[in-house]
Amino acid sequence: MSSYKSPAMQRYLRRLALFMVAYIALIFAVGTVFRTNPPTGALAWGAAVLPALPILGVFWTIARLLAEETDEYMRQLLVRQSLFATAFCLSIMTVWEFLQNYEVVPPGNGGFGAAFFWFVGLGFGGVWNALTNRSASEE
């Protein structure tokens, strides 16, 4: 998000790394289970939801960062970044939905859901913030 690493940002990065490791482990483990011995019924529901949980954890991590960051300017940048991500994600998903409604594109999303586009938007928002700070560096 920027080169500045406040204590809140350091906690955010630790939490983010933890959830990303959990996500990678679960996406491979659950994928393997569904390919080799697909569960059924409630077990299938439970297993399929497992990889989503670390993603929810990342959302919680971002919420904690916004709550814990004591530097008000950096917090404002984070809020702007999150709003940019939300607008980016909603725009992509809205356009995609209409393309599907009129059957211009096939149903499904190829595994690229709303969270994916939100994180892409978060990345773009981070670049915007970095450019803002760089252009105003100390003379």
Partner 1 sequence: MNNRLKVLRAERNWSQQDLADRLGVSRQSVNAIEKGRYDPSLPLAFNIADLFDLPIEAIFLREGDSE
Binding site for partner 1 (CB under 8 A): 2, 4, 6, 70-74, 76, 133, 136-138
Q: Give the angle subtended at the CA of 96 by the CAs of 91 and 97, to the nearest 5°.
A: 100
CB neighbour list of residue 94: distance below 8 Å, 6 or more residues apart: none
Closest separation between CB of residue 12 and partner 1, Å?
A: 15
Contact yes or no for 65/7 (Cβ under 8 A): no
- Shorter beta-carbon distance to partner 1: residue 72 or 103: 72
- Shorter beta-carbon distance to partner 1: residue 14 or 134: 134
Residue 80 CB coordination number (10 Å): 14
Q: Give CA–CA dist 53/115, Å, rounded.
A: 12
Closest separation between CB of residue 137 and partner 1, Å?
A: 7
- Shorter beta-carbon distance to partner 1: residue 100 or 133: 133
Closest separation between CB of residue 118 and partner 1, Å?
A: 24
- Shorter beta-carbon distance to partner 1: residue 59 or 73: 73
Closest separation between CB of residue 10 and partner 1, Å?
A: 13
Q: Give the angle subtended at the CA of 9 by the CAs of 5 and 14, to the nearest 5°.
A: 115
